[in-house]
Copies of this chain bind each other. A is one copy, B any other.
Amino acid sequence: MKRYIGCDLGGTNLRAALVDIETGTVLFQQSVPTLAREGHDAVMQRMADLFLTMIKAAGLQTEDVGGIGIGVPGVLDLEKGETLFLPNLPGTWPHVPLRDVLYQATGLPVALLNDVRSITFGEWRFGAGQGVDTVAVLAIGTGIGGGLVINGQLHLGIGGTAGELGHMVIDFNGPRCGCGNYGCLEAFASGPAIAAMGMKAVAQGLTTKIGELCGYDLNAITPALIAEAALQGDEIAREIYQQVGFYLGVAASSLCASVSPRRIIVTGGVANAGRLLLDPMEKTMRERVHIMPVEQVEIVPGQLGDHAGVVGAACWAANRLG
């Protein structure tokens, strides 16, 4: 059995798993708070401790592990093994030699990858992307991350930056996006964008269950709460998801034209809304695309859930280091 460690470096938690990379099975997992405000040196020390503790707890030696893959939320220099810009972590981690520090601290070879590219690789190898050679992933949460597998290869682009599908522009006159561009998909269809549509409806005084469900506290409005309202038959909430699905369908139509994927995988917390979100997305894509055989493009939910990132990071490490 080939075992690798996959790690998800999150803003809140460090999650690590020991993965059988031949089957994609998570054999063992542990999680500790990231405590990112303590700075990158402290976080990297906690990561190394987590890996070594987990190996021990699993009854293994470091020699039993092939290497470590780390999914990192931001922009990397894959060649140098450095973090360049982690927007969600204090200090943003410019030029932190994450790969070499963890190699020195653990004695195990380390491969880095963007966190959503890790999810992409995991879903492609062992989840919703199995069996097809070209896949696009949209991971919808606080932001919209993405990834592309093209002709059976995770597409990295310059320094691993390809696949930021949430930052395709769908309206050049659109609102400012967190990335600095305007009218990106993320600016229309991320979790906060969806929540804001619910807040607006309640603030406007529209008749909607969203208000009751949040106890008229705008801070309590989330995509999940709006989805609940929609499932209870609330028209406003349903319209919000139809609008968001439309935005996603427009982006999917651009993906059909440019990448022509066999499958578009939608994952992340917001994707828990299921068909409420995917139905209007699919409808929009099928209505709008005529330039290629869109009937051969599937839109599917992710299959690996929270495991996608750690499984993908471990498989990526095996791919890179094996």
Contact = CB atoms under 8 A, between A and B. Distances in A.
A291 B134 CA distance: 23
B261 A291 contact: no
Nearest to A181: B288
* Number of this chain's copies in the complex: 2
Contacts of A247: 172
Interface residues of A, number: 52
A171 interface: yes
Interface string A154-176: 01111101111111111111000
A171 B168 contact: no
Interface string A15-36: 0000000000000000000000
A297 interface: yes
Contacts of A297: 158
Contact of A148 (B184, B258, B261, B290): B258
B290 A157 contact: no
Contacts of A164: 257-258, 260, 291-292
A253 B169 contact: yes
Interface string A288-322: 11111100110000000000000000000000000
Interface of A: 75, 134, 146, 148, 150-151, 153, 155-159, 161-173, 179-184, 246-247, 250-251, 253-255, 257-262, 288-293, 296-297
